[in-house]
Amino acid sequence: MSLAGKTVLMTGGGTGIGAGCAVALAEAGCKVAISGRREEKLKEVADSYSGENPILYKTADVACRDSVKELFDWANKELGQIDILVNCAGINVVKRTMEEVAPEDWDKLMQVNATGAFNTMHAVLPQMRERKDGLIINISSIAGVRANLLGGVGYVASKFAMTALGTFVGQEEKDRGIRVTNVYPGEVETPILDARPNPVGAEHRARILQPSDVASLVVSIAMLPPRAHVPDIVIKPTTQEFF
């Protein structure tokens, strides 16, 4: 199915997977708007794309409901409607074991990774219900499918919450023509690696997934006809274990 003319709102669009998905969807013909907390990063992505439809951007904090409301008011005005929502905003912290994690970091991880996705989905669903059509893609993590020590206790818990949120909403809204897909990437070369307790070298970064790999998958999901739904999908580096 052609994506020409489809509208996309992408959270976490200033770096990493979000930036890669924004460019890929724009190249596929979508009119794309990105959001994030750092305007300079959003501007870099927008300026890097020279296609027919410019990538629009606006700063927003998905953990703040007032900020989300402002974002959607702006996006609805600029895009006309939101056909596709991609939730890509996500963070992690350096001290991430149960022994070390600070309670305030736990709260921050849950607010951004889980509640942030709830806030944006809650904001977009009324218009999708009215049209009986819409696609929501949640960029989760394999840490939201299998608890692992690498992600840390707060990150894993927040991604499990995001998984449950997407699964529940997908079941609840399917008869209204709304599809929700949870994408579970393994290791990806993104700035979130900078929050690793142990530094990640260049060789390792080159071996794992690149943002463009996940972006290709997202475009493929978006191109499916409304009758076809991918509830969950894992994408990981060939060499990464998953069990």
Q: What is the mean pLDDT of residues 154-162?
A: 98
Which band of pLDDT confidence, cut at 50, 70 and 90, is reported for residue 242? confident
Rounded to whole angstroms, what are the CA distances from 2 to 28, 139, 179, 211? 8, 22, 17, 22
- Domain membership of residue 61 (yes or no) is yes
Which of helix, strand or coil describes residue 1? coil
Number of domains forming the structure of the chain: 1
Q: Please give the Cα distance from 98 to 96 (Å, whole number).
A: 7
Query: Which pLDDT does position 28 carry in this prediction?
Result: 97
- Domain membership of residue 241 (yes or no) is no
- Domain membership of residue 131 (yes or no) is yes
The neighbouring-strand residues paired with 135 are: 84, 179
Which band of pLDDT confidence, cut at 50, 70 and 90, is reported for residue 192? confident
Query: Which pLDDT does position 100 carry in this prediction?
Result: 97
Q: What is the pLDDT of residues 132-146, one digit of tens each?
A: 999 999 999 999 999
Count of CB atoms within 10 A of residue 14's CB?
A: 27
- Domain membership of residue 71 (yes or no) is yes
Q: What is the mean pLDDT of residues 61-77?
A: 98
The neighbouring-strand residues paired with 184 are: 234
Q: Please give the Cα distance from 115 to 5 (Å, whole number).
A: 30
Q: What is the pLDDT of residues 19-36, one digit of tens each?
A: 999 999 999 999 999 999
Is a pLDDT exceeding 80 seen at residue 153? yes
- Domain membership of residue 242 (yes or no) is no
CB of 56 closer than 8 Å to CB of 32: yes
The secondary structure of residue 133, as a DSSP letter, is -
**Average pLDDT of the chain to the nearest whole number:** 96
Nearest by Cα to 181 from 143, 147, 155, 219: 219
- Domain membership of residue 160 (yes or no) is yes
Q: Please give the Cα distance from 87 to 30 (Å, whole number).
A: 16
211-222 vs 16-27: helix crossing angle, rounded to 10: 50
- Domain membership of residue 243 (yes or no) is no
Is a pLDDT exceeding 80 seen at residue 7? yes
Which band of pLDDT confidence, cut at 50, 70 and 90, is reported for residue 190? confident
Which band of pLDDT confidence, cut at 50, 70 and 90, is reported for residue 200? confident
Rounded to whole angstroms, what are the CA distances from 134 to 140, 181, 183? 19, 11, 17
Q: Please give the Cα distance from 130 to 135 (Å, whole number).
A: 13
Q: What is the pLDDT of residues 80-92, one digit of tens each?
A: 999 999 999 999 9
Nearest by Cα to 118 from 183, 83, 164: 164
Which band of pLDDT confidence, cut at 50, 70 and 90, is reported for residue 194? confident
CATH of the domain at 18: 3.40.50.720
Structure tokens that stand for 211 in this block: 């943002």
Which band of pLDDT confidence, cut at 50, 70 and 90, is reported for residue 47? very high
Q: Please give the Cα distance from 162 to 169 (Å, whole number).
A: 11
Q: Please give the Cα distance from 29 to 21 (Å, whole number).
A: 12
Is a pLDDT exceeding 90 seen at residue 197? no
What percent of the chain lies above the pLDDT cut of 70? 100
155: annotated active-site residue:
yes
Query: Which pLDDT does position 239 carry in this prediction?
Result: 92
- Regarding pTM above 0.85, the answer is yes
The neighbouring-strand residues paired with 80 are: none
Domain that holds residue 153: 7-235
